[in-house]
Amino acid sequence: MRNDSLEYLTSEHASLKPLRIYLFDGEIYECIPSTDRENFWLRNLKTGEKERLETALTITRKDDIRDITDAYIREHPDYAAERLDKAREALSQSEDYFEAQHLLEPLAEGGDPEAQYLMAYCYTKASNPDLFPPKYVNIYLEKAAAQGHLKAQYFLAQNYRIGFNGTEDPVLSAKWYEEAAKQGHAKAAAFTGLNHETGVKGLYPADPKTAFHWYQISAEADDPLGLYFLGLAYENGIGTDADRRKAMECYRKGAELKHKKCAFRYAYIQDPVYGFPEFSNGEAALEWYHKAKHLRDERASRYLGLHYANGTCGLDINRRKARELFLDGASLGDAPCAAEAGRDYLYGDHGARQDLHQAYRLCSQAAEAGDTTGMLLLAHYYLLRSQTEENREENLEKSLEWAKKAKAAGGNAEALLEEAQKRLGELRKEERKKHGLFGRKRK
């Protein structure tokens, strides 16, 4: 095809855009990104030579400069592939999202699914939301996913699941997970199984057998999440007969792939105190708890802490070590760990110096996460604080509030409730006396 017959656009305001392709005086050029404000720099696509074009000339010759980017890319697939490779290089080596965007945009608008996926990546990773509005992430993913792009389908499902940029949609998430799973995406198969296990309102009801089927597919591809879900299915008889030995096999395999939840379950099942008696193995339990802790599983810190606190699983009692483990678990968000560590600081127990500031931080964390022990401890914290002269009534009211919450959650809060109510009543009685509301004689 002759160059002068290619479809073209007249450049806007005589301004050439980086990495767009222009026909000028019978030659085809690619505009090179530059900080030179007085000139445009062009690469001749035939000779490879760089040439300078004065900005003033682009104004006087505005109608002679033709933007043929889209047409040229359609006619030259090798050049399109070259741009795609350059974009990947810009993203992987220098994280230059602007250059990648300029390289990819005409390819994406021309319908290339890989370019559309990479455009979504640019809009996800770039730190400037004004220049890279997040709303375009799902727009580009949708375009690529509709053409069968596997990664686009998976990440679109993820975005709809987590509500990226306010786009939570369980139905669309489930649909795209299943599309990706059908194409062999192992982790998408795991999430598809989970969706079928729980059911998706507006799409399909819970179906444990279908869930088990997808868990198997994911696990057979050695996906750690699929192995974890399959292990839970065998452990609890979801869509299949319960088989703890098979569950252990799944957890072991997932743990060896460094999946923290698999490592924890593999340890827990063998725990001689908390696990299943037929698999009791204290040495193995401790080994895998430590591995799970190294993978930052908060529950591993909790159970190691309990064993050190109680001298079980072949360990000597070591409350200092237990507290370190509970603090570690609390830092990862484990509410029971926060409650255990908070207790030591609240009462100054087990070698810990009483520290009400630390106690409040930890007990609040546990209580607000719904931990009943944390609620009881927080109620007691406010009871202790009420013994000072400052904010006594407020502290007693908060103690009463958390004691009631603990009771509603099934905690043994009767004594705390009684004590808080008693002290609050006495305090209010004192206040009324102080203001002369009692003891006045009638005239």
Q: Give pLDDT, residue 436.
A: 66
- Which strands sit side by side in the sheet containing 39-44, from one edge to the other? 9-10, 66-67, 21-24, 27-32, 39-44, 50-54
Q: Give pLDDT, residue 440.
A: 54
Counting residues of the chain whose pLDDT is more than 70, the rounded percentage is 95
Note whether 327 and 352 are same-domain residues: no
Reported as a single tens digit per residue, the pLDDT across 215-266 is 999 999 999 999 999 999 999 999 999 999 999 999 999 999 999 999 999 9
Note whether 234 and 273 are same-domain residues: no
In a domain, 196, yes or no: yes
pLDDT tops 80 at residue 2: no
Note whether 342 and 323 are same-domain residues: no
Note whether 238 and 154 are same-domain residues: yes
The set of long-range contacts for 143-149, using a CB threshold of 8 Å and a minimum separation of 24, is 143/108, 143/111, 143/113, 143/116, 144/113, 144/114, 144/116, 144/117, 144/120, 145/176, 145/179, 147/111, 147/113, 147/116, 148/113, 148/183, 149/113, 149/114, 149/116, 149/117
Q: Give pLDDT, residue 11.
A: 47
Three-state SS at 106 = helix
- Report which secondary-structure segment, H or E, holds 173: helix 170-182
Q: What is the mean pLDDT of the chain?
A: 92
Q: Give pLDDT, residue 389.
A: 67
pLDDT tops 50 at residue 9: no
Q: Give pLDDT, residue 429.
A: 85
Poorest-pLDDT segment among 69-73, 94-98, 313-317, 385-389: 385-389
Residues 256-292 as b or e (16 or more Cβ within 10 Å = b): eeebbbbbbbbbbbbbbeebeeebebbebbbebbebb
Q: How far apart are CA 210 and CA 221, in angstroms?
A: 17
Q: Which residue has the tokens 């035939």?
A: 46
Q: Give pLDDT, residue 148.
A: 98
In a domain, 43, yes or no: no
Task: Provide mean pLDDT across the span 61-82.
Answer: 90
Q: Specify whether the CB–CB gap between 113 and 152 falls below 8 A.
A: yes
Note whether 317 and 350 are same-domain residues: no
In a domain, 342, yes or no: yes
Q: Give pLDDT, residue 71.
A: 92
What single DSSP character describes residue 259?
-
Q: Give pLDDT, residue 33.
A: 80
The domain boundary, picked from 332, 356, 378, lies at: 332
Note whether 322 and 354 are same-domain residues: no
In a domain, 202, yes or no: yes
Note whether 325 and 401 are same-domain residues: no
Number of folded domains that form the chain: 3
Q: How far apart are CA 407 and CA 246, in angstroms?
A: 40
Domain extent, residue 226, equals 148-244
pLDDT tops 90 at residue 317: yes
In a domain, 291, yes or no: yes
Q: Give pLDDT, residue 62.
A: 78
Reported as a single tens digit per residue, the pLDDT across 144-186 is 999 999 999 999 999 999 999 999 999 999 999 999 999 999 9
Task: Assign 432 a pLDDT band (cuts: 50, 70, 90).
Answer: confident
Note whether 233 and 198 are same-domain residues: yes
Q: How far apart are CA 344 and CA 365, in angstroms?
A: 15
More confident residue, 405 or 426: 405
The domain boundary, picked from 217, 244, 271, lies at: 244
Q: How far apart are CA 264 and CA 297, in angstroms?
A: 7
Note whether 326 and 349 are same-domain residues: no
Reported as a single tens digit per residue, the pLDDT across 267-288 is 999 999 999 999 999 999 999 9
In a domain, 230, yes or no: yes
Reported as a single tens digit per residue, the pLDDT across 10-59 is 444 457 888 999 998 889 999 888 787 778 889 999 899 998 888 877 77
